[in-house]
Amino acid sequence: MSAHNRIYSVLNNKCPRCGEGDFFITKSAYSLRFDKMHRHCPSCGESLVPEPGFYQGALYMSYAFYVVFMLLYFFVFVAFLRPYLDYFLVTIIPVLILLTPLFYRLARRSWLAIFIAPDTQQVHKNASAGN
């Protein structure tokens, strides 16, 4: 079993507590049920919806993802594609729309990961049990 941390569980669609159970039901952000998530971790039972309206805060996370992405996208054009700078304006909106399911999921996972610490005790236990 691999040691997990917040970054690992956010990027791999895992429960922030145990790093084992899935967070969203589908593996891919690009399926029709991309927004369906487990209410409790299938592996450790951690509540993935701590309170009603909890994920309103995830809006701030996705906002941050959009801003960071747009800045990076812009700097790539300025640095490497300067003659095609017009295409930045033409492509930015469709690209952001395509990234919406991905950022939606990333935002929810990272928002929950702020409040739930990885269970390092469990990692330690499993690691020694594997020896």
Binding site for Zn ion (CB under 5 A): 15, 17-18, 21, 41, 43-44, 46
Least distance in angstroms from the C-beta of 45 to Zn ion: 7
Q: Between residues 5 and 91, which has the closer beta carbon with respect to Zn ion?
A: 5
Tell the residue number behind the tokens 């049990």, with chain if given.
129
Q: Between residues 68 and 114, which has the closer beta carbon with respect to Zn ion?
A: 114
Q: Between residues 9 and 62, which has the closer beta carbon with respect to Zn ion?
A: 9
Least distance in angstroms from the C-beta of 88 to Zn ion: 41
Least distance in angstroms from the C-beta of 19 to Zn ion: 7
